[in-house]
């Protein structure tokens, strides 16, 4: 059985953080360090097919949730605070509803328990045009990607995944082929009768469309003890766009 790769920071109560689609544990390093300096042992996890974790054809939220349980068992963690962003938020919801006894409190960042139609086509289209036989550094990769993806922030987020596959040959850490093929799975919902009664915080970006006011009843149906709070001046990458407010609201909830 393969165990997910992680970075573990600090000592204290276990706190697992799950990145979003095409992200990795590094995206959470700054915030993770803050939590770790204030009483938490932070586990920044790379989910399968992402970061430095193993690649696999199997990919859905039941499997991603089981990966986290296997990780917890491996590290002798009975229960943990769990936070997930976007795809990681879906994994966290699945984990909490399937194994409520393993989740002390749950934080879900900018994703709702509902189906989202595939909307990453333009990203995969852009990435598929990168020819690593021709591209020799990040600057060239960014230049090539800019022809397909105009938003600099999205390009920088994606290019964080670049690494030297071999001498003088760049590649992506994520499993491009499987993730492209399984795009439909990313939008899938948790099971319709899934419920987690524990304390839950949903954080939404005020400029993001991922959590709408109309989603509140569905959130409450699956997570009856959920609070929904808004992060100001932030879109879908709310933890990167307003890290100060994100930290304050999440830390206050963890300690309440």
Q: Which residues are annotated as catalytic?
A: 86, 177, 236
HSE-CB for 89 with a 13 A CA cutoff: 23
Q: DSSP readout, 186-205?
A: HHPPPPTT----S-EEEEEE
Please list, in sequence order, all residues whose beta carbon lies within 8 angstroms of the beta carbon of residue 38, skipping any fewer than 6 positions away.
251
Q: Which residue has the tokens 């009768």?
A: 193
Tell me the β-bridge partners of 166: 169
Q: Helix crossing, 61-74 with 87-98: angle to 10°?
A: 70
Alpha helices, DSSP H, located in the chain:
29-36, 61-74, 87-98, 121-128, 138-146, 152-159, 176-181, 183-187, 216-222, 238-241, 243-255
Give the closest residue to 42 by CA, choosing from 9, 88, 3. Answer: 9
Ramachandran class of 235: left when φ > 0, alpha when ψ lies in -120 to 50, beta otherwise: beta
State both tokens at 82: 């769990």
Q: In this structure, how many other beta carbons lie within 10 angstroms of the beta carbon of residue 229?
A: 14
Q: How many Å separate Cα 67 from the centre of its chain?
A: 14
Upper half-sphere CA count for residue 72 (Cβ side, 13 Å)? 22
């Amino acid at each position: 059985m393969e165990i997910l790769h992680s970075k573990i920071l600090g000592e204290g109560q276990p706190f697992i953080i799950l990145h979003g689609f095409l992200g990795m544990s590094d995206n959470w390093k700054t915030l993770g360090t803050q939590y770790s300096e204030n009483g938490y042992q932070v586990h920044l996890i790379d989910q399968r097919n992402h970061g430095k974790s193993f690649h696999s054809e199997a990919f859905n939220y039941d499997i991603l949730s089981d990966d986290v349980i296997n990780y917890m068992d491996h590290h002798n963690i009975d229960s943990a605070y769990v936070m997930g962003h976007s795809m990681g938020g879906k994994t966290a919801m699945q984990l909490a509803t399937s194994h409520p006894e393993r989740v002390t409190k749950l934080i879900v960042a900018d994703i709702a328990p509902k189906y989202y139609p595939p909307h990453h086509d333009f990203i995969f289209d852009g990435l598929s045009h990168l020819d690593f036989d021709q591209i020799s550094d990040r600057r060239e990769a960014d230049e090539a990607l800019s022809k397909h993806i105009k938003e600099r922030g999205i390009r920088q987020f994606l290019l964080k995944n670049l690494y030297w596959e071999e001498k003088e040959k760049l590649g992506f850490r994520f499993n491009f082929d499987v993730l492209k093929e399984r795009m439909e799975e990313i939008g899938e919902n948790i099971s319709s009768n899934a419920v987690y009664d524990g304390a839950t915080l949903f954080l939404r970006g005020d400029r993001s469309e991922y959590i709408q006011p109309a989603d509140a009843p569905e959130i409450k149906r699956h997570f009856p003890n959920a609070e929904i709070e808004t992060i100001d001046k932030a879109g879908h990458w709310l933890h990167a766009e307003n890290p100060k407010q994100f930290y304050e609201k999440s830390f206050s909830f963890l300690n309440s």
